[in-house]
Structure 1
Amino acid sequence: MLQAILLSLAGLVGLAIGGELLVRGAVGIAQKLGVSTLFTGLVIVGFATSMPEMVASVQASLAGSPEIAWGNIVGSNLANTLLILGASALVAPIMLTGTGRRDAVVALAATLLLWGLALSGIGARWIGVLLLVLIVVYIVWRYRHPGAAMQEEESEDGPQNGVIATALFVVGLGILVLGGDALVTGAIELATIFRVPETVIGLTVVAVGTSLPELAASIAAALRGKSALALGNVVGSNIYNILLIGGATMSIAPFALPAELAGLQMGLLTASAAALLALLWTAKKIGRALGALLLAAFIGNVVLVFA
């Protein structure tokens, strides 16, 4: 058991460190290449911060544990909306100025699509390819139609030296792969030892672990008063998790989504996505009281999952 715990902890640390290095390297490369700040924020950083979830889910599928893979995707999105947004709002109220409305619509549509897949019980490579096509369509559409309120969420700094940026990217990716492998291996062992369903491990331990880069980025953004960055990080990550990571996972290992996810968890995920969209259209800010409510909902769900 000690070995499983140490593996899981080492994996979590590896994902956090690797994700941070990968993001900084990716931004530095993008700046060196001279691509737009929008493209950097939306595509480069969005992809990089999703790599921990990608690595963990793909490796779990290859290891024959689709419950951990898909539990991680659903759990990560719940963590994004409830844990990360709630914690960020507790640090500093998140102002809602119209930023992210269209992206929240896409996130809700992707969530409904994922729920449909969970209810259907179908797993096939063509579905994975379709999800990957949809993320490409989204990226192209967002690149061509950036909107008026995107500038704040794009301001991330990376190393100016191209060699250093590339080295950070490569080293970060390597640490991510090793960390993801250790986390998945440890999580499977813990599930076996404690007789906890792998879906539960994916929804909680793995999901929170792979969401650490987003948690750190959003809290840092809230501390700096960059509401759009904190919000954009959450909404964008939710879209990438379903379309990019879900697509890659099913393309590589075409397992159907676990039946356990089709009920309460997907219902809660859809409700949280719909609530966030409603807030963006009707509210001026996510204050500390609402942030505490979101955080309480996340903690309550974790307790319910284990119960």
Structure 2
Amino acid sequence: MSAVLIIWFEFGLCAILIGFAGTRLCRYADVIADKTGLSGSWIGLILLATVTSLPELVTGVSALTLANIPNIAVGSLLGSCVFNLAILVVLDYLARGESLYRRASSSHILSAGFGVILIGFVGLNVLLIDKTTLTIAHLGIYTPAIVLFYIVAMRALYIHERAQVKEFVEQVADRYPDMTLHQAYVRYVLSASLVIAAGIYLPFVGAQLAEVMGWHNTFVGTLFIAGITSLPELAVSIAALRMGALDMAIANLLGSNLFNILILALEDIIFVAGPLLTFTSPLHAFSAFSAVIMSGIVIVGLVYRPSTRLFISIGWISLSLFTLYLLNTYVFYLHGG
């Protein structure tokens, strides 16, 4: 019993560290957004999404190089995409008053749309790939396609965000007169380092917890480990919402999903035994298509902007997202053993 308590204590400590540093990470990212003339959406998409997705990268690399468990590597990424979209339900609940989707910028439609394409592309490859798939050295042909499309997506999002910016440095820098851009960068890096350190340790705590609790490996990899590595996204997004940076919070989640797919391509490069997806279960396609449908629901919410809320202060968009998350969890509970 004492060993279990110690593991739970380590888990809680990591979560507290991520929450503490994540709050400051959002503040410094907001300073950078103001003083560079970039919007909160772009900062959330690049600075926050990249940092909060690093635990998924480290977990995947460890699963491939140290443990040789491709299903954990791929499952944690696709499961994280589903979990990130479920975090929007939490944000909608915490955003009192108007619905989250009435207050959010319509610019998120573009990043959500790119997410549909990238995640859906991976889902198709999970279903269709076999031993005779086209390869480049040990890579699947899907890897260069993912990298190329990610670059195209980032370029398109950057151009779109720059076009939306109406206020530049001279007009917005006064929001933080006591902090220079250099100080913001330094403090951002320090806060990000703490988030990364705690996020990197979390998967190992989760693996120990799964062992002592007797959970199935595939279930743990695709749901529990994915949830653990997504804690930085949860902490940072809630912190961004509480400081009034709603668009930064949403962009962090949607951007993390795009970066997760790029991580899958990087993992395929690292995994020298052959195309990574040929060594994984086709069940991962269910997570991919769950994330695709959830992304589509988010796009509908951003376009339709519903004003009504249902029970427990969430709207039908959030209820739909939560239902799909539960369905994905139930399917992996039944068949992921």
Aligned residue for 1:269, secondary structure, equals helix
**How far has the Cα of 1:167 moved from its partner?**
6.3
| Counterpart selection for 2:189 from 163, 169, 174 | 169
The CA distance in 2 between the partners of 1:46 and 1:23, in whole Å, is 11
| Counterpart selection for 1:249 from 267, 271, 277 | 267
Aligned residue for 2:106, secondary structure, equals coil
Per-residue CA deviations over 1:164-191 (Å, capped at 9, x if unaligned) read 84365257437625642x3333444555
The CA distance in 1 between the partners of 2:308 and 2:261, in whole Å, is 24
What does residue 286 of structure 2 align with? 264
**Higher alpha-carbon deviation: 105-114 or 204-213:** 204-213
The structure having more radius of gyration, on CA atoms, is: 2
Please tell me whether the aligned partners of residues 19 and 52 of structure 1 are also in contact (alpha carbons under 8 angstroms): no
Per-residue CA deviations over 1:46-76 (Å, capped at 9, x if unaligned) read 3223222222222222222222221111111
Q: Percent identity?
A: 21
Instruction: State the number of aligned residues.
Output: 300
The CA distance in 2 between the partners of 1:25 and 1:101, in whole Å, is 25
* Aligned residue type for 2:80: S
Listed as ranges, the matches of 1:57-96 within 5 Å are 57-63=60-66, 64-82=68-86, 84-92=87-95, 93-94=99-100, 95=102, 96=104
**How far has the Cα of 1:87 moved from its partner?**
0.9
Does the alignment pair 1:141 with 2:149? no
Task: Normalising by structure 1, report the TM-score.
Answer: 0.77
The answer for unaligned runs of 5 or more in structure 1 is none
Does the C-alpha gap of structure 1 residues 227 and 6 become closer, same or farther in structure 2, counting only changes over 3 Å?
A: closer
Per-residue CA deviations over 1:218-263 (Å, capped at 9, x if unaligned) read 33444455443333222222212212x2222222225226214344
The CA distance in 2 between the partners of 1:107 and 1:151, in whole Å, is 26
Aligned residue for 2:203, secondary structure, equals helix
RMSD: 3.8
* Aligned residue type for 2:270: I
Task: Normalising by structure 2, report the TM-score.
Answer: 0.71
* Aligned residue type for 2:328: N
| Counterpart selection for 1:198 from 217, 224, 228 | 217
**How far has the Cα of 1:86 moved from its partner?**
0.6
Aligned residue for 1:135, secondary structure, equals helix
Does the alignment pair 1:37 with 2:38? yes
Please tell me whether the aligned partners of residues 27 and 44 of structure 1 are also in contact (alpha carbons under 8 angstroms): no
Does the alignment pair 1:215 with 2:215? no
